[in-house]
Structure 1
Amino acid sequence: MTATTHRSLEVSATSISEPVQNPLFKGNLSPTLRTFMDEPATPTAHVRILDAIKHEHRELQTHIHKILISTSADEQTRYQNQLTWELARHLIGEELIVYPALVKHVKNGRAIATGGRSEHQDLKEQLKMFQGLRSTDPRFIPTLKALRGDLENHVRKEEDQDFARLEVTISKEDSEALTRSLGRMKTFLPSRSHPLAPSKPPFETAVGLLTAPIDIVADLFRKWPHPGEDSRGNVSALR
């Protein structure tokens, strides 16, 4: 089998490469399994952590936009699963990799991390509700819009204050190392929201490693956006 091709995504002044889905894999193959099959996106080794986080935030916003503008219940379900998969891993990844760095390097970092985890808990609970709704449920869109509102506020605070302070405190090399650690860690994280799970390492790490295989098996039976489908669209930024 030939190697999976890559395409570049521009984030601020830095480029992040993301694997293009191999057209040989079609149907309900979940993003979780594609993660293991695709080649590593090696250029992310030179991306600073704030740029990487901003890139993930834009991806989340795009999935939400896709759901809101779609008139197809099937497409909404596919992007509901995609959003859940991305956001669940994003939140835990920040808690395991970025928040400990805040505590270590930023003045009052422990208080900042505690506040961030509290906001994450609210988002996890909203995501838990949203991931369990059918796209035809009258609560589907209102629940998503409520989640979007809280996510926008959280993202704005992270990008303008919390993670911006971390970025100017640590070296370029340390920032890029955080990005690499985040990428590696997300491979093993749960793909659904589990708000009752611990939100601090090492217990969050242990519970995540136990929960992730269960989520991966369940993902096999879920619908996903079709491989190769452009999910980005022309949308405004989250902030």
Structure 2
Amino acid sequence: MNQPTTAHGGPDPDQDVVALLMAQHGQIRNLFDEVESTSGDARRDAFGRLVRMLAVHETAEEEVVHPFAKRTAEGGESIVAERLEEERKAKETLASLEEMDPDDEKFLPALRALRGDVMEHARAEERYEFAQLRRRAEPSQLAAMAKSLKAAEATAPTHPHPGVESGAKNVALGPFAAIKDRVKDALRKK
């Protein structure tokens, strides 16, 4: 069965979870660039979008992608355990960055360190997890996972919650964290 493709010939992110996640990794890289190249309110805004993107993206991966990879990938338990540890560390760093003023002189060095960790994590996901997803999942499974990922993102927390790095914990604690985060976001906008 052929997979739906985009006008550029690549897999359609709406029909392929790997293509969707790869596109999000590109968006995350672009947001890091934007945060680093701006200052003042523009940096605060870009950093807020980066925090939201990372929090939502990781939560959805933890709920949808990691459980599938754990069950089906060769060495899945180990691969997922390593990714979850990387995610926990990144959430801790991101949470500490949220406490800082983006114009503080310590902010950019800490952000650049986080960027290095996040990009290394993304490369590991792409190499060890996504490559096996592509080989082991049928196109219908990739499409169903893309749909599930989007649903998980719609209700995911918008800020990092270190220590909540599993699908089960996200399902149990995620809705409460998401409500708290979204209220906090709404109050910040006012």
Aligned mate of 1:58, from 26, 38, 45 = 26
Sequence identity (%): 26
Aligned partner of 1:200 in structure 2 is 166
Report the alpha carbon displacement of residue 15 of structure 1 after superposing the two structures with TM.
Answer: 4.2
Alignment of 1:149-160 (within 5 A): 149-160=116-127
Report the alpha carbon displacement of residue 201 of structure 1 after superposing the two structures with TM.
Answer: 2.9
Alignment of 1:47-86 (within 5 A): 48-70=16-38, 72-86=39-53
Report the alpha carbon displacement of residue 12 of structure 1 after superposing the two structures with TM.
Answer: 6.7
Q: Mean alpha-carbon deviation: is it higher for 109-118 or for 153-162?
A: 153-162
How far apart are the structure 2 equivalents of 1:135 and 1:127? 12
How far apart are the structure 2 equivalents of 1:222 and 1:11? 39
Aligned partner of 1:14 in structure 2 is 11
How far apart are the structure 2 equivalents of 1:218 and 1:155? 28
Report the alpha carbon displacement of residue 157 of structure 1 after superposing the two structures with TM.
Answer: 1.2
Report the alpha carbon displacement of residue 139 of structure 1 after superposing the two structures with TM.
Answer: 1.3
Establish whether residue 105 from structure 1 lines up as the match of residue 72 from structure 2.
yes
Aligned mate of 2:60, from 68, 79, 93 = 93
**Change over 3 Å in CA distance of 1:134–1:160 after alignment to 2:** same
Structure with the larger strand share = 1
How far apart are the structure 2 equivalents of 1:63 and 1:169? 31
Please give the secondary structure, in 1, of the residue aligned with 2:55: helix
Deviation digits for residues 192-239 of structure 1, max 9, x if unmatched? 01113x32232221111111111101111335xxxxxxxxxxxxxxxx
Does the 8 Å contact 1:11/1:55 carry over to 2?
A: no
Does the 8 Å contact 2:65/2:145 carry over to 1?
A: yes
Structure with the larger helix share = 2
Deviation digits for residues 136-169 of structure 1, max 9, x if unmatched? 2111111110000001111111112221112111
Does the 8 Å contact 1:11/1:54 carry over to 2?
A: no
Aligned partner of 1:221 in structure 2 is 187
Aligned partner of 1:227 in structure 2 is none
Alignment of 1:93-172 (within 5 A): 93-172=60-139
How far apart are the structure 2 equivalents of 1:61 and 1:12? 22
Does the 8 Å contact 1:49/1:167 carry over to 2?
A: no
What is the identity, as a one-letter code, of the residue corresponding to 2:57?
H
Does the 8 Å contact 1:81/1:222 carry over to 2?
A: no
Alignment of 1:171-186 (within 5 A): 171-186=138-153
Does the 8 Å contact 1:63/1:82 carry over to 2?
A: yes
What is the identity, as a one-letter code, of the residue corresponding to 1:222?
R
Runs of at least 5 residues in structure 2 that lack an aligned partner in the other structure? 1-5
How far apart are the structure 2 equivalents of 1:115 and 1:140? 27
How far apart are the structure 1 equivalents of 2:46 and 2:94? 13
How far apart are the structure 2 equivalents of 1:195 and 1:12? 38
Please give the secondary structure, in 2, of the residue aligned with 1:63: helix
How far apart are the structure 1 equivalents of 2:25 and 2:40? 24
Aligned CA RMSD, in angstroms, stands at 1.7
**TM-score, normalised by the number of residues in structure 2:** 0.91
Does the 8 Å contact 1:189/1:209 carry over to 2?
A: yes
Does the 8 Å contact 2:32/2:50 carry over to 1?
A: yes
How many residues align structurally? 184
Does the 8 Å contact 1:11/1:51 carry over to 2?
A: no
